[in-house]
Amino acid sequence: MHVTIRLFARLREIAGASELRRTLPDGGTARDAWDALVAEFPAMEAHTGSISVAVNEEYAKFTKVLGEGDEVAFLPPVSGGSGIGTSDRELE
Amino acid sequence: MAVTPGPLDAAAVAAAVAGSHDGAVATFLGLVRDRNAGRRVLWLDYEAYAPLAVKAFEHIAAEAAVKWPDACVGIHHRTGRVEIGEASVAIAATSPHRAEAFAACRYAIERVKQIAPIWKHEHFEGGDVWIEGATADPADEQARALAFERACT
């Protein structure tokens, strides 16, 4: 099946693209898509423990089974709003 | 709710959520500072996964509406280059009474920082760095409880 992979911030820089189209085996999960990405771009590996995933513009679990044409987004730790990093760090 | 490359206007956010039954509106503007972690900041670049960010804002407003049933929350966030002193985020919370408006507004900014898919690239004197905060997980009860605690203290 074909999926569209969306990448942001640091991950986008590693891949050199914000959007990739890749083929995965049928029945593949979001985790499988990430593993394929890490195989292609080894520098992604370091981010495995800290990313979130969204499928078709909804937050999802890595166990989510993908379908033909799905959009899978991998999201580094977020830093919206103002001030630095997390609100936890802001209190330090 | 909006994710936009243009300047933010807190009054416009407030006007979008205010109704005739509201007696209070609390607004929050997050500004770009010229210093961070000992660095002299030149400007920030914000990158967003816009459709998911808008959904995250709606999710946050729905959470606030459960906790403060009479409150209504609006959230606008900038993308792209934001200069020192400009607002990167504008939040308005309305309610019949001030306590709920203040609490809902504080809750909303805490949740934006936890779950909005938005990333900040800091350009400072001598370099640039991606600022990374929380691993986004809207279902994380601990994070939600922390935001609620901050809203109420």
pLDDT tens digit sequence for B109-144: 999 999 999 999 999 999 999 999 989 999 999 999
Domain boundaries of chain B, sorted by first residue:
2-151
- With cut-offs at 50, 70 and 90, classify the pLDDT of residue A87: very low
pLDDT at B27 over 90: yes
Nearest by CB to residue A57, choosing from B51, B112, B134, is: B51
ipTM, two decimals, is 0.93
Asked if the model's pLDDT at residue A89 lies above 90, the reply is: no
Choose among A39, A86, A10: nearest CA to B130.
A10
| Mean pLDDT, residues A37-55 | 97
CB environment B14-50: b (16+ within 10 A), e (fewer): beebbeeebebbbbbbbebeeebeeeebebbbbbbbb
- Residue from the list A73, A80, A84 with its beta carbon closest to the beta carbon of B36: A84
**Closest residue in A to B138 (Cα–Cα):** A59
Kindly list the domain boundaries of chain A, sorted by start residue: 2-91
Chain B closest CA to A51's CA: distance in Å? Answer: 6
CA distance to A1, A27, A31, A55, per residue, from A63 (Å) = 17, 11, 6, 11
With 0-12 CB in 10 A as exposed, 13-18 as middle and 19+ as buried, what is A54? buried
Q: Which fold has domain A2-91?
A: Ubiquitin-like (UB roll) (3.10.20)
Best A78, A84, A89 member to test B by mutation, with max B CBs in 10 Å, is A78
Q: How far is B57 from chain A (nearest CA, A)?
A: 12
State how far the Cα of A22 lies from the Cα of A27, in Å rounded to an integer.
14
* Interatomic CA distance for residues B1 and B12, integer angstroms: 11
Share of chain B above pLDDT 70, in %: 100
Asked if pLDDT for residue B41 goes beyond 70, the answer is: yes
pLDDT at residue number A83: 64
Residue B137 vs residues A59, A77, B68: alpha-carbon distances, Å: 8, 10, 22
pLDDT score for A81 = 81
Query: In percent, how much of chain A has pLDDT > 90?
Result: 86
Q: CA of A6 to nearest chain B CA: how many angstroms apart? A: 9
Per residue in B47-76, pLDDT (tens digit) is 999 999 999 999 999 999 999 999 999 999
Distance from CA of B121 to the nearest CA of A (A): 8
* Interchain contact, B52 vs A84, CB within 8 Å: no
B121 interaction partners in chain A (CB closer than 8 Å): 9
**Band of residue B150 on the pLDDT scale cut at 50, 70, 90:** very high
Q: Exposed (0-12), middle (13-18) or buried (19+): which is B85, by Cβ within 10 Å?
A: exposed
pLDDT exceeding 90 applies to what percent of chain B? Answer: 98
Find the chain A residues whose C-beta atoms sit closer than 8 A to any C-beta of B: 6, 8-10, 12, 50-52, 54, 57-59, 73, 75-89
- Confidence (pLDDT) at A17: 98
> How high is the pLDDT of residue B153?
82
CATH 1.10.10.10 fits B2-151, yes or no: no
Q: What is the pTM (predicted TM-score) of this model?
A: 0.94
Q: How does the average pLDDT of chain B come out, rounded?
A: 97
CB contact under 8 Å between B88 and A54, yes or no, is no
Position B14 pLDDT exceeds 90? yes
